[in-house]
A and B are shown apart, each in its own frame.
Chain A
Amino acid sequence: MLELSPTQFLRVQSSYNALANELQKSNASVIVYPQGSIRLGTTIRPFKENKDAEFDVDLVALYPVAKYSVLPQEIRDYVGDVLKNNGTYSSKLSEKKRCWRIDYSQQDDIGFHADIVPAIPEDYATVYKILPKDGLQEFVDSAIAITEKENSDSRAIWCSSNPKGYADWFDMINRKNYSELLEQKRHNIYKDNVDLFSSVEEVPLPLVKSPMQRIIQLLKRHRDVCFSKSPSEKDKPISIIITTLVAETVDKLALNSLNLVELLIETTNALIEAGSLIDDQNYSSYRVRDLLYRKDGEWIIPNPVNTKENFADKWNSNPAKARAFFNWLKAIENDIILNSNDEDFDRILCEKLAITYPDPLQKKEKIITVNKASSSKPWRNQ
């Protein structure tokens, strides 16, 4: 399975709720919430070394304390100590650049790990500096300060992040373009899983996917497969870049096609236009020029909810990353767009995404909805 099924999603959710409970036992004021693709509904199973790998589940553990009252290393150690002293988690724990990782792969056949990012609310001075452009300013309220460690020996420093604001921004675009469809899909998920949910409202929103979310999943998968055979795998475009560019393109060009292929072509074509930037620094007539541009020789993909954050930051210190991005766009063009009129498109797409092509002889089980109006009544003579 490439994405989490409703059952799997609920299992992941109960795992992190249990984790949140443990963190709350030592400090009742901590707020634990999901961030990243699990929150955005764009999760896909990672593909590494030419095979499917573990899901990443990203969580924020937010401690409502003032920034001046605590050092980044202190909050990092505090969360680490709580987890180390817990029988359930100590053996599954490892430290990463920005988070503590808990590995659930041994315990659960879904195959996932949870990354817990210790965080505190961002201070006002910083919030003021990162204020986004008009219309998006409300999203800055949820900015947080997180800890970052260059290597295991160095001390953690603060850096600014806003996963909740980003997710709210993403939801806003998604709802603007697909509100009716999302509602209908949520109802369908409920109908197909009445054993899991007792009402439509119980269906977690990340399970409900618009064509925009599907495109993001599809492009992420294509990226993973495309780079898995390439020496530049370490330079492959990061998910937040793909997610941001697709969402901004959908929003800016007011794309609301319900046809996935159509939407995919529209979106990637708009991005491919931007690809001419790599040769011409002053080219500026393409449609998505505010989303991806060069200024004074620097690549810029702004975070929509944080003006100071540049998602393409690493492209500037490592031009291979920029080249990898534009090469990948070319690969999408070759693999997907140029084949979109082929009779065998479904099969070609599956191949490019390293997905087993469904056996046409094996039909999917359909659910037939029955109700009073549509049904007849059995009768017998005697």
Chain B
Amino acid sequence: MTDRIMLSVKDWIESRDFDDVSIDIRKDLIVVSGTVAFKFYYEGYETILSDKFTLKILVYRNYPEKIPDIVELDNKIPDDFHKNGRSLCLGTPLEMLLYANTNCVEAFLDKYLTSYLMSFMFYREYGICPYGDRSHGAQGKLEHLKEYFNVSEEDLVLQLLNLAITNDLGRNEKCCCLSGLKFKKCHLKEVEYLKRSISKHNLEGTYKELSNFVKI
């Protein structure tokens, strides 16, 4: 059987500027360690920044169920940037799972790791993330879901999220977002996709966390 995860990891390494790289193949995961150079051109800012990072990338065999973990070994990235212990916080778990569900490891690393490092490098230089970052904790999760559903009210985010758990809106009923459209012509696609990509357990946990947060 072709090891698709391994191939995808190798493709990614091949496409990046690694100084030295080692790949350690273990039973449940692939560990990539090495120093990699990045040079970014920031559109809209017309700026170029470059730097090198020594990273340890853990890609789990059960990707996309479990998303890769990345540790930066030189401590160039301070703890007050988006970090959890030594792991880089690339995005909210839900958004990464949604992306991983339809994209290979190579695409995942290209999007999330690259975006993270380019945001950090710009932040270090100019004090902002060039294309935005998310608030910490539940607020950031809500921000993502607002973008995902393309709505602005928190109540609506919760209702739509709940629909992915309970399934209690018929295709031909009016959508809960009050657009006046039938559900199937409105948010059904996003709700279905969420339901198919994310475990019920995870969705319930997120719903609980966010509804508590919104109440406060």
Taking Cβ atoms with an 8 Å cutoff, the residues of A that contact B are 191-192, 194-195, 363, 365-372, 374-382
Contact = CB atoms under 8 A, between A and B. Distances in A.
27 contacts: A195-B48, A365-B17, A365-B39, A368-B38, A368-B39, A368-B118, A370-B41, A370-B42, A370-B43, A370-B118, A370-B131, A371-B43, A371-B131, A372-B44, A372-B132, A375-B115, A376-B90, A376-B111, A377-B131, A378-B129, A379-B92, A379-B141, A380-B83, A380-B89, A380-B137, A380-B140, A381-B89
Interface string B100-140: 00000000000110111011100000000111111111001
A378 B47 contact: no
Contacts of A365: 17, 37, 39, 50
A378 to B, nearest CB: 4
B89 A378 contact: yes
A378 B41 contact: no
Contacts of A363: 17
Given A195-B48, A370-B131, A371-B131, A377 B41 contact: no
B40 interface: yes
Interface of B: 17, 37-44, 46-48, 50, 81-84, 88-92, 95, 99, 111-112, 114-116, 118-120, 129-137, 140-141, 144
Given A376-B112, A378-B82, A369 B41 contact: yes
Contact of A194 (B41, B116, B132, B137): B41
A377 B118 contact: no
Contacts of A378: 81-82, 88-91, 115-116, 119-120, 129, 133-134
Contacts of B82: 378-380
Contacts of A371: 42-44, 131
A365 B119 CA distance: 19
Given A195-B48, A370-B118, A375-B119, A380 B17 contact: no
Contact of B132 (A368, A370, A377): A377
A369 B41 CA distance: 5
Contacts of B99: 376
| B contact face: mostly helix, strand, loop, or mixed | mixed
A376 B136 CA distance: 15
A379 B118 contact: no
Contacts, number: 109
A194 B39 CA distance: 13
| A contact face: mostly helix, strand, loop, or mixed | loop
A367 B50 CA distance: 9
Given A365-B17, A366-B17, A379 B44 contact: no
A192 B48 CA distance: 8
Contacts of B131: 370-372, 375, 377
Nearest to B15: A366
Contacts of A194: 41, 46-48
Nearest to B38: A368
B136 A370 contact: no
A377 B133 contact: yes
A368 B41 CA distance: 6
Nearest to B16: A366
A307 B112 CA distance: 63
A370 B40 contact: yes
Most B-side CB within 10 Å, residue of A194, A363, A376: A376
A379 B89 contact: yes
Contacts of B111: 374-376
B116 A368 contact: no
Nearest to B114: A368
B74 to A, nearest CB: 18
A369 B90 contact: no
A221 to B, nearest CB: 29
Contact of B129 (A191, A366, A377, A380): A377
A167 B114 CA distance: 44
A332 B18 CA distance: 38
B159 to A, nearest CB: 23
B92 A191 contact: no
Contact of A382 (B112, B134, B136): B136
Contact of B136 (A195, A367, A368, A381): A381
Contact of B134 (A369, A372, A379): A379
B48 A370 contact: no
Nearest to A191: B41
